[in-house]
Chain A
Amino acid sequence: MNTTPGTTPGTSSAPTPGTTPAPSVTAPAGESAGAPAGSTVFSVDGLWKVFGPDKAAAKVPGSADADLPAADLRERTGCTAAVRDVSFDVRKGEVFVVMGLSGSGKSTLVRCLTRLIEPTSGSLTIDGEDVLAMDATRLRALRRHRAAMVFQHFGLLPHRTVLDNVAYGLEIQGVGRGDRRTRAAELVAKVGLDGLEDRRPGQLSGGQQQRVGLARALAADPEVLLFDEPFSALDPLIRREMQEEVARLHHEEGRTMVFITHDLAEALRLGDRIALMRDGRIVQLGTPEEIVGSPADDYVRDFVRDVPREQVLTVRTAMRPAVAGEAEQGPALGPATTVVEAIQAVARSGGPARVVDHGRCLGVVDDAGLLAVVAGLPATPGRGVAA
């Protein structure tokens, strides 16, 4: 709401790649056909969550203590600020990733979105409707129909079969037994668990259990899916598989997702935009390319240091304006092409490649520009110009 898309206050140097979400590996297909760019689902403004005695906690936001480090704050007020003055918008159809180390407040933040944890102050709307003003009935309706959550530890009912677990959300809504079982069976098939309908969660592997959790969340056909570190408890291989599953689902349905993770690779792989949290605050909010290409501060820089830049950054970062004649020659690349792919094209053709968007040449990438990205050198003047 108050933040310019792509940046947080204090990151003025970051380039602003227009209003369309930056294309990434998982660019949603449904998006271009679906919602207009900029239509927001969740709008969060100045949100605080302070744990502690109610009265003391309510005083913290906006007070002089608000900026204290966690230990000092606890000493002075007996409270812990888990989320501090956080603002962001989640746009329709995007995968919005909140990333941070444990204790950074990201799990608290996602629970605030459906008031599983009651925020201390700030404003929060879904589709323009004030969530914090909802009464119990409206809030339940929100949780039942509009935002479903997938949990790190699955939260499945151990005494129910897979099918009944998936149908649980519908059962709570009062859907008849036949209808909900039909719907649940569809979803069980969709997440690839056919044949396991009558098992109990205890008989499934972690990955399978999380598929049940995913199917349960999808059963109510919610507008937004909230993921709270859904794959952290899984083995690396299974995790990769599940990430692909989520990417596939997003690709097919274009559903809005808010994804919490502490895994940078996961964030970069799935996120259209990433909010990086530290000590309850968002330190940078931007596309994967922005986070990796122009970290807002030393903390972020440290965080992304080991990321293979050429796999995240696109030719937009590496290109320079075309000089005479270049605009017509060489292989044409889309603006979403990653540097890795551009290196292959340039190596094959032996000369610079053009970056073309809808028939218009935006610029040119040559080996020097690409190598500078790989080497992590700062962009030379004239490079990195956006269209």
Chain B
Amino acid sequence: MTASPTHTQAGSRAAVPAQTRRSAARPAGPAPSRTAPAAAARPRRAWRGPVASRAFLVPMGVAVALLIPLAVAFPGAGSWPAALAVDLSGPLGRAGDWIIDHRDSHPLFLYLFGHVSNAVVVSVRAVYVLLLAAGWTGVTALAALVAWRLAGTRLALTCAAAFAACGLLGMWVPTMQTLALMVVAVGASVVLGALLGLAAGLSPRAHRLLRPVLDTMQILPAFAYLLPMVLVFGIGVPAAVLATVVYAAPPMARLTALGLREADAGVMEATASLGATGRQRLLTARLPLARPQLLLGVNQAIMTGLSMAVIASVIGAGGLGDRVYQALASVDVGAALAAGIPIVLLAVVLDRTADAAGRRLGAEPVPVSEQHLLRRVFSGWYGRLLTLLAAVAVAVVGRMAGTSLWPESWTVSLAEPVNSAVAWMTGHLYSGVPVVGGTADWAARFTGWVLDPLRAGLQAAPWWLLLLLAGALALLAGTWRTALTAVLALAAVGVLGVWEASLDTLSQVLAAVTVTLVLGFAIAVGAARSARAERLLRPVLDVCQTLPQFVYLIPVVALFGVGRAPAAAAAIVYALPAVVRITVQGLREVDPAVVESARSLGATRSQLLRQVQLPLARPALLLAVNQAVVLVLAVVIIGGLVGGGALGYDVVLGLAQGDLATGLVAGAAIVCLGLLLDRVTQPAKEA
């Protein structure tokens, strides 16, 4: 039991930390046995950390103290030396050109990627046609019926209302496009993830092989996945779907593996004692025992899939994401909001439905005789068929009434009023508000007082000092190996020739992470203290964590305009819920016996917090830092779309101009930056 399963559990992406809340509610199974060793390991780790790090701290400090005067003495040493950089734009450009030239002739494309691409296009097309054929009546009815079967009337109404809202906003067709793309991508990523997870769950060797790969994939910003896909498949639906598949498969794979590996050893032994064959053990015991994790994996795949399907609009996914993207490009907040709301609704509905499916599985079944008559009619396989038939019937009725697409006359134009509201805000709130100042003033101040000095400082600092610093920090957090990875990752950024841009991104990340952590810890400490505050906060966090990264850009653009400060603000808003959730959970999970004994000794509340709760919640706090860094990086990169500049802008530029070399180099730098930031903040693993 190392620290990594904890890391795995809380995951890294938007919706992943939500899993901790659910795993806590999971039916008691192997859970107690799992927490016990973890709890036992915790104090030991907490001890070893400081002791080990103190040993390194002194020589590191001496080294830094000696080197800083050196840095001052050679002021020219600030940026990465040109001699050590490799210009990859030439070879990469040629490779890109070669691929574009041979896409229609080379056997690799003809017989492999061509077929993949065609299959994707055909299946997305088929689902899309099916959705359109079902019409808005059929789709809404099916969604509502499924939700009703899984959870009840309330979720059914929510579902129906959500789809109706999509129609009302005039977004029915883009919603269906996004949905079609998602269905195909999520289906494929669930299958792919389940297969990988099966391999990793059953074979320790496959697990050892896959784990670092999955770990790394999970910390990479979504943007990093786009360009390789574009390189192979060109801009369009296939690239978007495959990027989504690759992005959404890791959570499914690791949860499948986790579920299979953690199957109750007692049950597995009992099945063996009854003489079950290996196959029987897998099919009748191991897989069913892993069902909660499998469902959670599907849920995660859906949420990450939606998130990516929206971002992939940048490479031709179409649908809702594309509308947001286009609107943001022209700073048309109203139009962006009209497309953003369906995304939010889709996320909430999908998450709630998948969650309800998981909860229904964990709950004990209600005896048929005690069920409501309607429920009895709709139970079992027969009920599933009936659900489908009912939806088909509604769809047919809709078609006969002549409304397969959402009727034009029923739409409400949101863009106009929103834009006028934004105009009013621009006029009245942007600046010159007495005492507090305007939002644009805040953004300017944040840029001028925080982002600029930080960026200037980082860019002026000698490159070797930064390398040293990265190594030292990684060493404090982990082992020599993590330090080596961190240093190499940062060096790679320099070698790639994007040192300046990367440091710009890094400065935004650092500033945003700091704000996120300060706010997050403050909120969490407050929420952990009062049950009421937590109750109020929980639904907000739930919704926030299900939203795709993309939609966070809309409100910040409305409030702060474009630039680096809004990008940082979006990142803060995006990462805050995860930080709050993890910290609250960490504080709550502090051994109540210890808290009680401290109280009985007369500790005040602040003493309790400082001397007992925070030290004991240290692993959770470290995890929160790690999460904050990973999540902030993801959004800061996407912030390139709203004037965040730096690496994100390079990727967008590369895509927009067809300049793949620039984009790919920036993508590689993002990967390196992600590795560096994750390693530096990784909660200490037991060596």
> For window 85-122 of chain A, which residues contact chain B by CB distance below 8 Å?
114, 116
- Give the residues in chain A near B289, CB-CB below 8 Å: 157-159
Please indicate the chain A residues that have their CB under 8 angstroms from the CB of B285 in the complex: 157
Q: How far is the CA of A154 from the CA of B364 in the complex (A)?
A: 19
Q: Which of A48-56, A165-173, A307-315, A337-345 has 4 or more CB atoms under 8 Å from chain B?
A: A165-173
Q: Quick check: A116 and B273 within 8 Å, CB to CB? A: yes
Residue in A114, A157, A171, A198 whose CB lies within 8 Å of B273: A114
From A155, A156, A159, A220, contact of B288 by CB (8 A): A159
Contact B284 A143 (CB under 8 A): no
Cβ–Cβ < 8 Å partners of A145 in chain B: 275
- The yes or no answer to B601 lying at the interface (CB within 8 A) is no
Q: A36 at the A/B interface (Cβ < 8 Å)?
A: no
Partner of A116, one of B27, B272, B284, B288: B272
Taking a contact as CB atoms under 8 Å apart, the answer to whether B288 and A144 are in contact is no
Closest Cβ–Cβ distance, residue A149 to chain B (whole Å): 4
| Cβ contact of B275, chosen from A144, A156, A203, cutoff 8 A | A144
| A199 → chain B closest CB, angstroms | 8
Contact in complex: A172, B270 (CB < 8 Å) = no
Q: Flag if B274 contacts A144 (CB, 8 Å).
A: yes
Q: Which of B29, B264, B276, B364 neighbours the largest number of chain A CB atoms within 10 Å of its CB?
A: B276
Is A140 at the interface (CB under 8 A from chain B)?
yes
* B25 nearest CB across to chain A (Å): 14
**Does B280 make an interface contact (CB < 8 A)?**
yes
CB distance from A151 to the nearest CB of B (A): 6
A155: which of B266, B280, B365 is its contact (CB, 8 Å)? B266
Are A172 and B284 touching (Cβ within 8 A)? Answer: yes
A114 to B266, CA, bound (A): 16
Chain B proximity of A176: nearest CB distance (Å): 16
Tell me if B604 counts as interface (CB < 8 A to partner A).
Answer: no
Question: Is the C-beta of B588 less than 8 angstroms from some C-beta in chain A?
Answer: no
Residues 140-193 (chain A) with a chain B CB within 8 angstroms: 140-145, 148-149, 151, 153-159, 168-169, 171-173
**A173 and B266 within 8 A (CB):** no
Is B367 among interface residues, defined by CB-CB distance under 8 A? yes
Q: Are B266 and A151 in contact (CB under 8 A)?
A: yes
Q: Which chain A positions have C-beta within 8 A of B270? A: 149, 151, 154-156, 213
- Chain A residues contacting B269 (CB-CB under 8 Å) are 116, 151, 155
A to B contact number (C-beta, < 8 Å): 75
Interface residues of A in 2-36 (CB under 8 A from B): none
Alpha-carbon distance A216/B274, docked complex (angstroms): 9
The reply on B530 being an interface residue by CB < 8 A is no
Chain A contact patch, size range? 20 to 34
Docked CA distance A79–B81 (Å)? 56
The answer to whether residues A149 and B267 also contact, given A157-B284, A159-B291, A202-B27 and a CB cut-off of 8 A, is: no
Q: Is the CB of A59 closer than 8 A to any CB of chain B?
A: no
For B266, list chain A residues within 8 Å (CB): 151, 153-155
A239 an interface residue at 8 Å Cβ cutoff? no
Q: Is A251 an interface residue (CB 8 A)?
A: no
Check A143 against B280 for contact (C-beta < 8 Å).
no
Report if A200 contacts B (CB, 8 A): yes
* Residue of A139, A169, A198 with highest tally of chain B CB at under 10 A: A169
Identify B367's interface contact among A151, A157, A198, CB under 8 A. A198
Question: Are B267 and A143 touching (Cβ within 8 A)?
Answer: no
A219 to B27, CA, bound (A): 28
| Cβ-based interface call for B277 (8 A) | yes
Nearest-neighbour CB distance to chain B for A136, whole angstroms, equals 9
A171 to B277: give the CA distance in the assembly, Å. Answer: 12
Bound together, the chains give a CA A173 to CA B269 distance in angstroms of 17
In the bound assembly, the distance between CA atoms of A158 and B266 in angstroms comes to: 12
Enumerate B383-426 residues with CB–CB distance to A below 8 Å.
none
Which A residue's beta carbon lies closest to that of B291? Answer: A159
**Residue with the greatest number of chain A CB neighbours at <10 A, chosen from B27, B273, B285:** B273
| Inter-chain contacts of A114 with B (CB < 8 A) | 273
Q: B280 near A172 (CB under 8 angstroms)?
A: yes
- B-to-A contact residues, CB < 8 Å: 27-29, 264, 266-267, 269-277, 280, 284-285, 288-289, 291, 364-365, 367
6 sample A-B contacts, Cβ–Cβ < 8 Å, listed by A number: A114-B273, A116-B272, A140-B276, A151-B269, A172-B275, A172-B280
List 5 tightest A-B contacts by C-beta distance, closest first: A155-B270, A143-B275, A144-B275, A149-B273, A140-B275
* Seed contacts A157-B285, A169-B275, A173-B275; 17 additional CB < 8 Å A-B pairs: A143-B273, A151-B273, A155-B264, A155-B266, A155-B270, A157-B267, A158-B27, A158-B29, A158-B267, A158-B289, A168-B274, A171-B284, A172-B271, A172-B274, A172-B275, A172-B276, A202-B28
A interface residue numbers (CB < 8 A to B): 114, 116, 139-145, 148-149, 151, 153-159, 168-169, 171-173, 198, 200, 202-203, 213, 216, 220, 226
